[in-house]
Structure 1
Amino acid sequence: MNEAQRAALKAASGWYARLCSGASDASEQQAWQHWYDADEQHRQAWQQVEMLREQMGLLPGPIASSTLRGVDHGRRRLLGSLAVVGLALPLGWFAWHSDTRRYWLADYRSDVGERRQWQLSDGSQLMLGTASAAQWHTDGQRRLLRLVSGEAMIDSPNETRPLLVETRHGLVRCQGARFCVRSDEQSSQVAVLEQRVEVAPLHDLQAMQPLAAGQQLRFDVERLGPQRPNDAATAAWTQGSLIALDQPLGEVIAELARYRHGVLRLDPALAGLKVSGSFPLADTDRALAALEHSFPLRVVRRSDYWLTLVPRGV
């Protein structure tokens, strides 16, 4: 692939993200048409992007001219080139919007410390954990949920249309299942509670791997991590609890910090201390008091929004 082809693919990816965002207007669509008509390489790049979306069942609708419909499916061999340059959609939407803009554009949002639940238009139940957001799209062929940030539990009815859950790192697909998905800057995690799903990383969306009930895995844009069994902590957040099972205190505090405003710091000397217990996410002050009572540490309060855990006696 030469530089001109790479540039055309990058431009096609950007246009696709904009036109699929739901925020484009007539002038932007006209500008896309001008770009599309200007060069044969532009048209070829657009076809490659559409083929990838079509292969994954993700085309959101007829946003391009009818001349793009009769694509030569023999060109699917070119999909690997898209992955090489990091253009394996459907995640162009994540690249196009900033984190803050994605959050406020989302159909469903929760605040810090909140857990919220909705019924989606297909009958699925969606629960979002703290500071989370999701976009929802459905049509006659597919159901698509973009996890913009944070964590979600999806309980989806079994039907012929696939349910697709996007994160910035890849894709989860099922016909019907109950599962949790969590996404941060580095990676995403999926844990299946009932039925089964398939998972693929962003840069290899053709390599769907099955994941059965009772199993979980973490993935980034390049690869899937090893499968491991769920445990009592896996979906505890949906019940408002953080369950620690011989877990480093640093990880516990990092999780509690997600559920409160302000700064929650930990003295590095305590980071490796192993703790076990169940802690309420709706009342992080009570959770911190329980840690202070049970382990050799104390909570130093500069204010209600600035807390530090230090070794007891310091």
Structure 2
Amino acid sequence: MRTVDERALDAAAGWHARLGSGRASDSERREFDAWIDAAPEHQDAWARTQNAWALVGELADHPALAQARRSARRPPASRLWAPVAIAASLAAAVALGLTWKTMAPPISPPAGEVQLAAISYMTPVGKVSRIALSDGTIVMLDADSAMSAVFDGKVRRVTLSRGRAQFQVAHDAAHPFVVTAQGRSVTALGTVFDVDLEPAAVTVTLLQGKVAVRDLTARQDARQAILTPGERLVASGDGGWSRRAIDTTQAARWLNGDLVFDESELGLVAAELNRYSNRKLVLADARLIHTPISGVFRAGDPEALAEGLEASGVARVTRRASDQIVLSKP
């Protein structure tokens, strides 16, 4: 008979394959959140699975892993997608001489050694993760966020594909640290900064040091901005850039679960709160999207915002389902 721990590891492998395929639906993400919160062994199994895939990152082009990825990305014919993904993932691991039961913590390449393949990291809704990269950089990856990292011996490259992250960059003048998000790059040497990938913009907030923000879609001589501590740059999808001074203490409060908004559009506020809760704020009226919102809200508590909007007459609150808070014009 298989142990509970083994079953948790198998389930974690299946979730990793499904979430990493990019085809997971909102309902499946909610199922994953419920699964990981159900038991401590589920959280441990998820961490060990993430570590396992980090260990085989340099073998990403191995035929066995390539076949596992192809299997995981096939659209599921039924709710039985998990066993298929699990079998593909485990078969690839066994083919490479690995076992889930004896998997050790991730081993980072020694300083100066080349990392040949990108390592991916993901966080579920409501969970902020602390990640130590091989160069000593510490990343705080926000809830419902995803990124990948690869160090090619010349440049330390990170790609933020979803959500937000704070980077506490280890100083290494010989190897620039570059974060790419939605066609913009942020280059730093020994600094602390946030990158927030929003639906229609990329926001860079500098807390310490100095960073250069550049538009990768433009010519070599096109726009570039050098930020100093306490500055925030918003690069919108329509090409507009804006800079302003911010309070760095307030800007870092999301790490402690406080979400601070200063004249932010309601559409962006709702999207950020939705990172932390399975109860989603839904704007049923497009006229609400650009409504300016200021205040401090606790992560995971969308009800507080909804109640405040209703009490102030800004929006009417209805509930179509237990997992939705619908806002409309009064």
**Contact kept? 2:198, 2:268, Cα under 8 Å:** no
In structure 2, the residue matched to 1:260 is 277
| Cα distance change, pair 286–154 in 1 and its aligned pair in 2 (3 A) | same
Secondary structure in 1 aligned to 2:320?
strand
Distance 1:279 1:62 in 2: 40
Secondary structure in 1 aligned to 2:319?
strand
Secondary structure in 2 aligned to 1:218?
strand
Larger Rg: 1
* Deviation (angstroms), 1:288: 3.3
Amino acid at match of 1:229: A
Would you say 1:300 and 2:325 are equivalent positions? no
One of 199, 205, 212 as aligned partner of 1:198: 212
| Cα distance change, pair 270–24 in 1 and its aligned pair in 2 (3 A) | closer
In structure 2, the residue matched to 1:238 is 255
In structure 2, the residue matched to 1:154 is 167
* Deviation (angstroms), 1:187: 3.2
TM-score when scaled to structure 2? 0.56
Distance 2:292 2:238 in 1: 32
Q: Which runs of 5+ in 2 are unaligned?
A: 1-57, 64-112
Q: Which moved more, 1:132-141 or 1:252-261?
A: 252-261
Identity among equivalent positions (%) equals: 28
**Contact kept? 2:144, 2:163, Cα under 8 Å:** yes
- Correspondence list, 1:10-159, <5 A: 23-24=60-61, 107-159=120-172
* Deviation (angstroms), 1:155: 0.7
Amino acid at match of 1:301: R
| Cα distance change, pair 307–209 in 1 and its aligned pair in 2 (3 A) | closer
In structure 2, the residue matched to 1:213 is 229
RMSD: 3.6
Question: How many pairs align?
Answer: 221
Distance 2:291 2:186 in 1: 35
* Deviation (angstroms), 1:108: 1.3
**Contact kept? 1:113, 1:282, Cα under 8 Å:** yes
TM-score when scaled to structure 1? 0.58
* Deviation (angstroms), 1:247: 4.1
**Contact kept? 1:158, 1:175, Cα under 8 Å:** yes
Distance 1:153 1:303 in 2: 34
Distance 1:219 1:294 in 2: 31
* Deviation (angstroms), 1:203: 1.9
Distance 1:203 1:22 in 2: 31
Q: Which runs of 5+ in 1 are unaligned?
A: 1-20, 27-59, 64-92, 94-104
Distance 1:265 1:155 in 2: 34
Distance 1:224 1:111 in 2: 31
Distance 2:219 2:170 in 1: 24
| Cα distance change, pair 190–25 in 1 and its aligned pair in 2 (3 A) | same
Q: Give CA-to-partner distance per residue, 1:135-172, whole Å, 9 cap, x none.
A: 11225432111112111100112222211111231211
**Contact kept? 1:203, 1:221, Cα under 8 Å:** no
In structure 2, the residue matched to 1:90 is none
* Deviation (angstroms), 1:216: 1.8
